[in-house]
Amino acid sequence: MSLQFLPISREEVERLGWRSVDAVIITGDAYVDHPSFGAAVIGRVLEAEGYRVAILPMPLWRTPEAVTVFGKPRLFFGVTSGNVDSMLARFTAFKKVRNDDPYAPGGGGGGKPERAVIVYANMIRAAYRDVPIVLGGIEASMRRFAHYDFWDDRVRRSILLDSKADILVHGMGESQVVEIAHRLNAGESLSDIPGTVEVRRDPPAGALMLPPEAETVKDRNTYARFYGEFYRNQHRVLAQESGKRYIVQHPSPRMESERLDAIYGLPFARRPHPSYREEVPGFSVIRSSINSHRGCVSGCAFCSLGLHQGRRIVPRSEDSIMEEVARLSAEEGFGGHITDIGGPSANMYGTVCAADWRCSRQSCLHPDLCRNLKVNTASWMKLLARALGAPGVRHATVGSGIRYDLFMRDDPSLLKILARDHVSGQLKIAPEHTSAGVLDVMRKKHLYGLEEFAEAFFAASRTAGRRQYILPYLMSCHPGCRMADMKAMRERVLSVFGFMPEQVQAFIPLPLTLSSAIYHTGFDPLTGEKVFVARGDQERRGQHDVFHKKANN
């Protein structure tokens, strides 16, 4: 039986006639039954397998018994901090407490604890000593091994140990959680499941042994060696000694388009749970958008996407996407505007690899465009055009923006169509920086000139009879960036765009990203090259303020 919403209270469980539930998914976000929210996806995937699933959103973390609302689940508790790492949700780049949370009803902050995964798991363990705990989501995924933690300014051990959980799912997790449920239902072991991390007494035969955790935590050089081996070997079983045990990571399973279509075809209500009286801001941003694919070929050093979703682009079929367009356009309150068809990796839909993604490169775009990569911008543009022609749709635009250099390297003639039909006044791009040295550290060398793109876009907009702007996203304080680089970027951006953009993000070393390893060690663990790092708040703030008036009065 498919439910309009999965139950979030004991009363809702009882109304369904259930005496108990098979699994409880705890999330630090509000429950939004939409495929952009991980807890909803996992819940719906388990429901499709015949399991009774309840969602416990934003539990009162200062009240330990809050996790007992559904009683002890028959199979397991699933734990996620939500769509964002809880430390990133709680603190700014300058470690100031945030007052907002876009994934909470009303958007107010404070409802999610610091290190939410650990807090929720410890609450469960205090209430139920023997119930299996399964960790998932971005916070757990990117803290699966020893990792540099910016907020503590030290290397912390695997979150699997601090949470006392039974198993950790890395990546998106749909196939893993189904396998976990099936095995628990059959009374079988959770060992050796692809796409998971477990703690074992002995490492598996043939596993690549990473430097021991104790040494990795204490010594920067050892951490760099650990990180290089971890980063390069995601296709292998990895093991790291931790005390008298071993943390073991099994490579991710291969997702196929057919499976992705099936997931997006599940009966999501596509809106927040009706118990919420206030708007969930994070839902408002994506309510009229459609995710077209997974994966990212870029391998940018500061981004967690590649390590979480993988480098391989997995597209949904056109039919699957158009079915979602039809569902969206039929919703009450739909205004005729599809605000995006893309995803975190923007316009990479349709991209394929002649080597079937089986190579040793960490990035398909750095230091140069791989000859095996076949970008297919035309297929993405065809999707936008089909959506624009669907009944009830008046606009189909690109809200997430584009990787402009990849777009122009593939087929620049399509820019005229993009500017004419699929831009809603502003086009987002993310050059991140303009310094060649900084971009090299970021693993984001521009494949097409920024000035040339801006000129071409403005010309295409004029031809279409539209006055449109480019909204560039930039970054300060990244390893390799000095004050002179920020000042040079300010002048170049002002020259190209004629205004000072507010979209300047101060770099935050996210756990297990390459940039965080460089920030912690002071050198690139993949090349051994020393890298300048702006560390202190004053130095970091000084760089960031280059793009604000107070730095230039």
Say whether pLDDT at 549 is over 90.
no
Amino acid identity of 104?
A
* Cis status, amide bond into 367, omega within 30 of 0: yes
Say whether pLDDT at 552 is over 50.
no
Q: What does the pLDDT read at residue 228?
A: 97
Helix, strand, or coil here: 155?
A: strand
Residue 433, CB-side half-sphere exposure with 13 Å CA sphere: 31
Question: Mind listing the pLDDT tens digit for each residue in 338-391?
Answer: 999 998 888 999 999 999 999 888 899 999 999 999 999 999 999 999 999 999
Quickly count: other Cβ atoms within 10 Å of residue 227's Cβ.
28
Say whether pLDDT at 248 is over 50.
yes
pLDDT-based confidence at residue 220 (cuts at 50, 70, 90): very high
pLDDT-based confidence at residue 501 (cuts at 50, 70, 90): confident
| Burial 6-18, CB ≥16 within 10 A → b, else e | bbbeeebbeeeee
Helix, strand, or coil here: 222?
A: helix
Are 296 and 303 spatial neighbours (Cβ–Cβ below 8 Å)?
A: yes
Q: Average pLDDT, stretch 291-307?
A: 94
Distance between CA atoms of residues 320 and 202, nearest Å:
44
Helix, strand, or coil here: 53?
A: strand
Handedness of CA 59, 60, 64, 70 (dihedral sign): negative
The whole-model pTM stands at 0.96
Tell me the average pLDDT of the chain. 95
Q: What does the pLDDT read at residue 1?
A: 58
Distance between CA atoms of residues 118 and 159, nearest Å:
7
What is the DSSP pairing of strand 340-342 with strand 289-291? parallel
pLDDT-based confidence at residue 553 (cuts at 50, 70, 90): very low
Among 462, 460, 335, smallest CA distance to 404 is for 460
Residue 553: Cβ-neighbour burial (10 angstroms; 0-12, 13-18, 19+)? exposed
All residues at 6 or more sequence positions from 53 whose CB lies less than 8 Å from its CB, including other chains: 6, 21, 22, 23, 24, 25, 43, 46, 47
Question: Mind listing the pLDDT tens digit for each residue in 80-100?
Answer: 999 999 999 999 999 999 999
What are the residue boundaries of the structural domains of the chain, listed by start? Answer: 10-249, 289-551
Question: Mind listing the pLDDT tens digit for each residue in 187-197?
Answer: 999 999 999 99
pLDDT-based confidence at residue 503 (cuts at 50, 70, 90): confident
Among 254, 259, 235, smallest CA distance to 312 is for 254
Question: Mind listing the pLDDT tens digit for each residue in 454-478?
Answer: 999 999 999 999 999 999 999 999 9
> Which residues are paired to 396 by β-bridges?
338
Are 401 and 345 spatial neighbours (Cβ–Cβ below 8 Å)?
A: no
Say whether pLDDT at 2 is over 80.
no
Pick the CATH number of 289-551 from 3.40.47.10, 3.40.50.2300, 1.10.486.10, 3.80.30.20: 3.80.30.20
Structure tokens at 32: 């939004």
> 3-state DSSP: the chain helix, strand, coil percent, rounded to 5?
35, 15, 45
What is the DSSP pairing of strand 504-506 with strand 469-476? parallel
How many percent of the chain have pLDDT more than 70? 99
Q: What does the pLDDT read at residue 442?
A: 97
Q: Look up the CATH number of domain 10-249.
A: 3.40.50.280
Among 123, 130, 138, 120, smallest CA distance to 26 is for 120
Are 182 and 220 spatial neighbours (Cβ–Cβ below 8 Å)?
A: no
How many percent of the chain have pLDDT more than 90? 93
